[in-house]
Amino acid sequence: MAGSKTRLVSPEAALPGRGTPIPSAERHAVLGTALKAPLSTSQQEALFGCGCFWGAEKGFWRLPGVITTAVGYAGGFTPNPTYEEVCSGGTGHTEVVRVVWDVNAVDFSDLLKLFWECHDPTQGMGQGNDTGTQYRSAIYVADAALLPQAEASRDRYQALLTAAGRGAITTELASGKPFYFAEAYHQQYLAKPGSRPYCSARPSGVLLDGFPGAAYKLPPAVWSHYDWSIDHCVLRGENSPIQP
């Protein structure tokens, strides 16, 4: 899944895309939930870019309280892009995981903890062996009210990274970015027979603790299923959701 572009394309130079969505899956291959259902009053959604979206999606769908996940493209300029167009660097998009969660079971701060810990947010236009604008780190929230919490988590994680001798975070934080579903074969890819066990994420091993606005709901036992001292640890875990 190697990319070829390491500089973000301008809106004027972006590929034109298309007016209709590309075909995708309708239901989650592991959770059995609808990928495109409207949110209920007890649900929220956010988009997370952590490098290659295959492994990142598995990390999120296993969390208790997550209703559904889907992979796709966001943060660029081309409407309804294909995977090949995104990988060309001509759309400006990054690969993201759309996460829908039950606010009564899991907090946004729990998802932020997973996000920061599961990859290296200091790598700019790439992650691990993957280089290109489509692998850059990003958080895009649908509800702008969530943005201050994301910013607070970033600032705390930066302090922890700095103390550990790591570099500056390059993660994009924004609200209101359109999400385009990726092709059906990408959805829950790692749970499908014959899939290639691949994940580009290189976690730093630094764990996120409390930060202003954090209201963690998940117990410590949940996080024992993720060992960030091991590269690609999500590949070693089961596909089924973690039981709290």
Query: Active-site residue numbers?
Result: 52
Provide the 3-class DSSP secondary structure of residue 234: helix
Q: Are 70 and 60 in contact (CB under 8 A)?
A: no
Do 100 and 70 meet the contact criterion of CB atoms below 8 Å apart? no
Q: And the tokens for 184?
A: 């059906």
* Per-residue exposure over 39-62, b if at least 16 CB sit within 10 Å of its own CB, e if not: eeeeebbbbbbbbbbbbbbbbbbb
DSSP designation for 61: H
Q: Taking the alpha carbons of 174, 123, 68, 37 in that order, is the dihedral positive or negative?
A: positive
